[in-house]
Amino acid sequence: MSLESDEIRLINDIPYCLSCFEYNFRSCDFCREFFNRNSLFMFDGNLYCYDCGTERDLPFQHNGSLIRNYHDRPPIRFSTLKGERDKMKYGIELEVENVRESVTNNEMAERCWKIARDFCWYNRDASLNCGFEIITQPFTWGWYKQNRELFIKLLSELKNNGFESYNPGTCGIHIHISKAGFISDVHLFKFLKIFYDNYKFLKVISQRDNKSTHGNCQWGGCRERNDNLIDKAKAKRGFDRYTAANLENDKTIEIRIFRGTLKEESFFKNIEFVRSCVEFSAVTGVKDVNVENFVKFVGNERKTYGNLWNFLENKWGG
C-alpha cells in the first residue's frame, strides 16, 4: 500500500477513498499487511491473514469463522492406538444450543478447538435456533477408552459457557459406526433388529419423549419388517435418512436415536450402548436378539459398559 494523499489509499494499484478503505480493509495483527476484511480470520481476539494463520497451525476458514457450512468437512484423520487393527470406527455428532449467549458461537468453537484441536470440527445446522454441531474425527474403541478425558473437558467447557443440549429440545447426538466393522451381513441384520424390534426400549435408552421421537431428527415409532432389514443388511444401504439406523452414507451407519446431552454419564452411556449393540449382535443368535438377553449381556460386561449398566438399573424396568 502507498499513500497518495490524506484521503486516498492504494491497494494493488486501485485507489480507494478513506471511508471505503476503512470499511473494506483491515490489517493482520501479526504481519500488519492490509487485506480485504472478508479474507481475514478472527481467532482468540486476533485477526490473522491466511499465511499467518497457517504458520501458527490455526484451523483457518475463509468465512472468518471456525464454524463451517453444513456438509463442509476437513480431511478425515483416524484416531487409533498404535498397532490397533479394529475395523470398527466411531464418530460423534453433538448438537448444542447457545442458550445464555454469554459468548458467541465462534468464540465457543475456538475454546473447543483449544481442547480438541483437529479431532473435532464444527458445522452450522439449520435445525438449531442459535447453536452449532460438533463433529469428531473417526476413532476406535481402544482410542476412546484412553481419551475419555478429552470428551469430559469438551462437555465441561460447553456447560460452563452457557451451552445446552438436553433442555432445548432441538438437539440430538448422532453416532456413526463403520459398515466395514461388521463381520457379516447376518451380524448387521442382528444389529438392525435391536433398533427396529424394540421401540419401547429404544425410547428409554434415547431419553426422548413421545413427541421428540418423531420428525426430521429422529426415528419415529416405525417397526420395519424383517425381510426389509435382511435386504438392507445385504445391501448395506437404506433409503430413509430419518430413521433409527441410517444406512444412506457410503461408509458409515448413523445411529440417530439419542437426545442431546452435555451430562458425562449420559454422553458415555450413548457411546457404550452403540458399542454394546455391535458386540452383542456379533455373539448372539438371530432368535436370541431381544432386550432381555441384551440386558444380561450388558450386566455381564458392566465393567466395560458401566454408564450404560447404571442407566439400565435405574431406568429400565422391562
The top-level CATH class assigned to 2-64 is: mainly beta
pTM over 0.75: yes
Architecture of domain 90-315: 2-Layer Sandwich (3.30)
Question: What's residue 181's pLDDT?
Answer: 97
What ranges in the chain are assigned the alpha helix state H?
A: 18-24, 50-55, 105-116, 141-146, 148-160, 185-196, 199-206, 226-235, 264-283, 291-300, 306-315
pLDDT tens, position by position, for the chain (318 residues)? 444 455 677 766 677 787 787 777 888 898 988 887 766 777 877 888 878 877 777 776 656 678 888 888 888 999 999 888 899 999 999 999 999 989 999 899 999 999 998 899 999 998 899 999 999 999 999 999 999 999 999 999 999 999 999 999 899 999 999 999 999 999 999 999 999 899 899 999 999 876 655 554 455 555 666 678 899 999 999 877 888 999 999 999 999 999 999 999 999 999 999 999 999 999 999 999 999 999 999 999 999 999 999 999 999 986
CB 232 within 8 A of CB 269: no
Cell numbers representing residue 49 in the block: 491473514
Residue 280 neighbours by CB under 8 Å, 6+ apart: 194, 289, 293, 294, 297, 298
User: Residue 169: which region, alpha, beta or left (left: phi > 0; alpha: psi -120 to 50)?
Assistant: left
Q: Distance between CA 150 and CA 155 in Å, rounded?
A: 9
The residue length of the chain stands at 318
CA neighbor of 261 nearest in space, from 94, 93, 77 = 94
Question: What's residue 241's pLDDT?
Answer: 81
Question: What's residue 34's pLDDT?
Answer: 87
Question: What's residue 15's pLDDT?
Answer: 77
Q: Distance between CA 163 and CA 299 in Å, rounded?
A: 34
Judged on CB neighbours under 10 Å (0-12, 13-18, 19+), 294 is buried
Burial 228-258 (b: 16+ CB within 10 A, else e): ebbebbeeeebeeeebbbbbeeeebbbbbbb
Give domain limits for the chain: 2-64, 90-315
Q: Distance between CA 238 and CA 242 in Å, rounded?
A: 10
Q: Distance between CA 195 and CA 61 in Å, rounded?
A: 38
Q: Distance between CA 119 and CA 135 in Å, rounded?
A: 8
Question: What's residue 60's pLDDT?
Answer: 60
Three-state DSSP class for residue 221? coil
Cell numbers representing residue 174 in the block: 448422532
CB 52 within 8 A of CB 30: yes
CA neighbor of 99 nearest in space, from 152, 45, 155, 166 = 166
Strands 120-123 and 67-68: parallel
Q: Distance between CA 69 and CA 56 in Å, rounded?
A: 23
Residue 291 neighbours by CB under 8 Å, 6+ apart: 198, 201, 318
User: Residue 222: which region, alpha, beta or left (left: phi > 0; alpha: psi -120 to 50)?
Assistant: beta
